Amino acid sequence: MPATTATAPGKIILFGEHAVVYGRPAIAAPVTQVRAEAIVEDGEWAGIRLHAPDLGRDYWLSEALEDDPYARAVLLVAETTRLDPLPNLSITVRSNIPIASGLGSGAAMAAAVIRALTRHLGYLNQTTDEQVSALTYQVEKLLHGTPSGIDNTVVAYERPVFFVRQQPINRIETLSVKGPLRLLVADTGVVSITKDVVGDVRRQWQAEPRRFEQLFDHCSRVAQVARRALENGDVGRLGQLMVENQNYLREMTVSSPELERLIGTAMATGAIGAKLSGAGRGGNMIALVEEEVEAAVRAALVSAGATNVLTSVLT
């Protein structure tokens, strides 16, 4: 059988990070300029071989540790398809999404593996966006403890989404953005472990529930207003809301000197708005820019210490 390939994009959170864990809305969008790719081929040996050349890893599924996300993705597909045992396979995962930077690299790699493997096995009814998102969320729990569910949703659907974590099922609404809206995504170069930052915010919330609930409510209002601004193409209002959201994230103690330096640089060089994106304390910031100042803002971000700057255009 020919090899089966699937990809999934990176993602950025535009509004509502951290508050989304506590049932408030968030808005996120795919970053299609960076992607994870999974290639599934029939194996010439007994068993399943996992290749992750970007990480320098090459090993058997049977030897994988319990917290191995690639192995978890494969085993979830086996459970869903009820194939026991799985056929002999070679699974290769590659990605140009920066790791531990808030761009959803873990979710994208898991989604790519799940989609490629399910297709290769012939279970096309299991490759819907909803199904891929649900299985990717199970991998995300392994990676992040109590994930919001937004990463797996965006990388599976590949659309901007308005997301609310709720029971019995999450509220997921794809957005029509009146664009184009240009975003620069700048990496601080500081590794940020989402699980650790989310856990620390939870400890602060437990210690000061009233103050943090108010902060989460403010973020909720910002996200809801931002949704209307996105749909109307109100660039100026979006910029204001980004600055406001960053103020609340700063109060949650999830910003950092590196993020603040890049945010300040972007604003001083002509960005309409700027904020951190993702867990914070490192990782990425985003800046909303007009096309005529994009090059200047990009150059300033690099001079200020950004290790990588991507352009993401929402349409």
SS3 26: strand
**Local structure of residue 247 (DSSP, 8 states):** H
Task: Report the length, in residues, of the chain.
Answer: 315
**Local structure of residue 126 (DSSP, 8 states):** G
SS (H, E, C) 171-191: EEEECCCCCCEEEEEEECCCC
Whether 58 is catalytic is no
Catalytic residue among 58, 67, 151, 200: 151
**Residue 165 and residue 149 in contact, taking contact as beta carbons nearer than 8 Å:** yes
Burial class (CB in 10 A: 0-12, 13-18, 19+), 218: middle
**Residue 222 and residue 68 in contact, taking contact as beta carbons nearer than 8 Å:** no
Q: How far apart are CA 217 and CA 171, in angstroms?
A: 17
| Residues that are catalytic | 151
